Amino acid sequence: MNMLILAAMGFEPMILIGIPTLIIISLGLYLVTRFKRCPSNRVLVVYGKTRSGRAAKCIHGGGVMVLPVVQDYQYMSLETMTLEIDLTSALSRQNIRVNVPSTFTIGISTEPAIMNNAAERLLGLSEREISSQASDIILGQLRLVIATLSIEEINQDREKFLELITKNVGFELNKIGLMVINVNIRDITDESGYIEAIGKKAAAEAINQAKIEVAEADKTGSIGQATAERAREVEVASQVAQAEAGKKEAERNQRIAVAKLEAEGIAGEAQSKRNQSVAVAEQQARTSEGEKQANAEQRIKVAALEADAIQGENTSKAQIVDYEATLAERQADAKRRGDVALANSSRDVLLAEKEEEMARLEKSVIAQQQIERKKVEIDAEAEAEKRRRIARGEADAVLARYNAEAEGTQAVLEAKAAGYENLIRICGDQKQMAPTLLMIEKIPDLVAEQVKAISNLRIDKITVWDGGQGGDQGSTAGFLRSLIGSLPPMHELAQQAGVELPGVLGTVTANGAPKGDGKPAESRATATEEQSAPN
Torsion sign (Cα): 326, 332, 333, 335: positive
Residue 145: count of CB within 10 angstroms of its CB: 20
In terms of phi and psi (left: phi > 0; alpha: psi -120 to 50; beta: otherwise), the region of 11 is beta
**What are the φ/ψ torsions at residue 50 (nearest 5 degrees)?**
-120, 150
Per-residue pLDDT of the chain (535 residues; tens, 9 = 90+): 444 444 455 545 555 567 777 788 777 776 677 788 888 888 888 888 777 667 788 888 778 877 777 788 888 888 889 999 888 888 888 888 888 899 999 998 888 888 888 888 888 888 899 899 999 999 999 999 988 888 888 877 888 888 888 899 989 999 888 999 999 888 888 877 787 777 777 778 888 888 888 877 776 666 767 676 777 788 888 888 888 888 888 888 888 888 888 878 887 787 878 888 787 778 787 777 777 887 778 788 777 877 777 887 788 777 787 877 787 887 778 777 767 666 666 677 677 777 777 777 766 777 777 778 888 888 888 888 888 889 888 888 888 888 888 888 888 888 888 887 787 788 877 777 777 777 777 777 777 777 777 776 666 655 554 444 555 555 566 666 676 677 777 777 777 766 676 766 667 665 555 554 444 444 444 444 444 444 4
Write down the pLDDT at residue 155. 78
Residue 504: count of CB within 10 angstroms of its CB: 9
Determine the Cα–Cα distance for residues 43 and 114; give it in Å rounded to an integer.
12
Tell me which H or E stretch contains 88: strand 81-91
Q: Cα dihedral angle (200, 206, 212, 214), rounded to 10 degrees?
A: -120
Cβ–Cβ < 8 Å for 87, 99: yes
Mention every residue, 6+ apart, whose C-beta is less than 8 A from residue 110: 43, 60, 78
- Cα–Cα nearest to 36, from 5, 57, 20: 57
Q: Residues 138, 139, 143, CA angle at the centre, nearest 5°?
A: 115
Determine the Cα–Cα distance for residues 197 and 188; give it in Å rounded to an integer.
14
Widest Cα–Cα separation across the chain: 176
Question: What 3-state class would DSSP assign to 511?
Answer: coil
Cβ–Cβ < 8 Å for 55, 109: no
Cβ–Cβ < 8 Å for 524, 517: yes
- DSSP secondary structure of 296-337: HHHHHHHHHHHHHHHHHHHHHHHHHHHHHHHHHHHHHHHHHH
Q: Cα dihedral angle (129, 130, 135, 140), rounded to 10 degrees?
A: 110
Q: Residues 270, 271, 272, CA angle at the centre, nearest 5°?
A: 90
Mention every residue, 6+ apart, whose C-beta is less than 8 A from residue 230: none
Helices 194-223 and 225-343, axial angle in degrees (round to 10) = 160
Domain ranges of the chain: 1-33, 77-280, 477-532
Determine the Cα–Cα distance for residues 322 and 334; give it in Å rounded to an integer.
18
Task: Assign domain 77-280 one CATH number from 3.30.479.30, 3.40.50.2000, 1.10.20.10, 3.20.20.70.
Answer: 3.30.479.30
Task: Quote the DSSP letter at residue 287.
Answer: H
